[in-house]
């Protein structure tokens, strides 16, 4: 961990701000459902409201650097969709608590890497001026601010515990990221002075400071805000945070890289028959 924190690796990036569809009556709850990332008809109709958000992710995926014509194009690969819409009581978290990563044992390509960081202008235009480019990895967003914290470090494979658990690294992360969780760098919320730039994000998400050129790597976890679509590696530690005020939360996650194992006990089969490109097992991944 000392070695990886000394590197200038980037474990996550702010892709763009997105809009969530209206929640379905009764709420959706699917986990790691396999589908073809470039084919809308491979998703059940009740998930079509998330198609624009899915395509925003897929548009940033770059093909493998390897010259292998046998590899399927990104949009033709099987992706794994998680959508949860539910009312969360204050003091509770919607998703899995505790520090964890999404990865277990993956090939480097599928763990996710950044080939081009998105560019957020220093004046704070509120959207990315240049789209990021990624290989593999995971996209994530929610409609509630302050409900997830993410750390800019890539955990070595051998330190990831059962089910991706990295709670045993909390004291180390607290030492190296001592600041309290806070949102990514934004312009001041001063409409009279800044007009449409007020409150808009600028610079890279893993940096902080008052001006471009004077920014430094963040010294604490980033508290994700509503509608911030991020990309991260499958070794990026993050945690679901209890909500201060209860309410409806919509959560979106797209796993784009190949996975080695699909856990049937925890995952949602696609009623249209799309199968995971992975070994299917029935045992509990946490035990």
Q: What's the pLDDT at 276? A: 93
pLDDT at 97 over 70: yes
Element (H, E) at 171: helix 170-176
Least confident segment among 111-120, 169-178, 216-225: 111-120
Q: How high is the pLDDT of residue 53?
A: 97
Give residue 269's pLDDT: 97
- 205's CB contacts (< 8 A; 6+ apart) are 12, 13, 14, 120, 184, 222, 230
pLDDT single digits (tens) 236-271:
999 999 999 989 999 999 999 778 889 999 899 999
Q: Are 285 and 265 in contact (CB under 8 A)?
A: yes
Tell me if the pTM is above 0.75.
yes
Confidence check: pLDDT of 212 > 80: no
Give, for 52, the enclosing helix (H) or strand (E): helix 51-58
Residue holding tokens 């658990």? 165
- Identify the residue with better confidence: 285 or 223: 223
Q: Which of 23-27, 205-209, 270-274 has the lowest mean pLDDT?
A: 205-209
Tokens of 23: 């929640």
**Residue ranges per domain, the chain?**
2-62+93-281
Average pLDDT estimate for 40-63: 95
Residue-wise pLDDT for 140-158, tens only, equals 999 999 999 999 999 998 8
Q: What is the mean pLDDT of residues 223-237?
A: 96
Q: State mean pLDDT over 89-101.
A: 90
In percent, the amount of the chain with pLDDT more than 70 equals 92
């Amino acid at each position: 961990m000392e070695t990886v924190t000394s590197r200038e690796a980037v474990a996550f990036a702010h892709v763009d701000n997105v809009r969530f569809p209206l929640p379905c009556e009764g709420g959706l709850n699917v986990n790691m459902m396999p589908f073809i990332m470039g084919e809308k008809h491979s998703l059940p109709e009740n998930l079509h409201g998330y198609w624009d958000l899915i395509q925003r992710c897929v548009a940033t995926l770059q093909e493998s650097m390897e010259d292998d014509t046998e590899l399927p194009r990104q949009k033709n690969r099987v992706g794994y969709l998680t959508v949860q819409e539910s009312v969360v009581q204050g003091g509770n978290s919607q998703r899995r608590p505790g520090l964890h990563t999404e990865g277990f044992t993956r090939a480097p390509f599928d763990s996710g890497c950044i080939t081009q960081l998105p560019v957020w202008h220093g004046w704070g235009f509120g959207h990315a001026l240049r789209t990021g480019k990624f290989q593999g990895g995971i996209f994530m967003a929610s409609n509630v601010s302050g409900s997830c914290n993410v750390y800019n470090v890539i955990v070595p494979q051998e330190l990831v515990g059962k089910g991706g658990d990295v709670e045993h690294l909390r004291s180390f992360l607290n030492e190296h990221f001592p600041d309290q969780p806070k949102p990514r760098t934004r312009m001041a919320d001063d409409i009279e002075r800044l007009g449409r730039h007020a409150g808009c994000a600028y610079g890279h998400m893993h940096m902080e400071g008052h001006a471009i050129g004077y920014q430094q790597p963040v010294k604490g976890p980033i508290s994700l805000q509503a509608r911030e679509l991020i990309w991260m590696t499958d070794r990026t530690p993050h945690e679901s945070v209890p909500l201060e005020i209860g309410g409806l939360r919509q959560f979106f996650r797209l796993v784009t890289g190949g996975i080695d194992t699909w856990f049937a006990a925890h995952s949602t089969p696609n009623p249209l028959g799309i199968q995971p490109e992975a070994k299917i097992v029935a045992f509990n991944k946490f035990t």
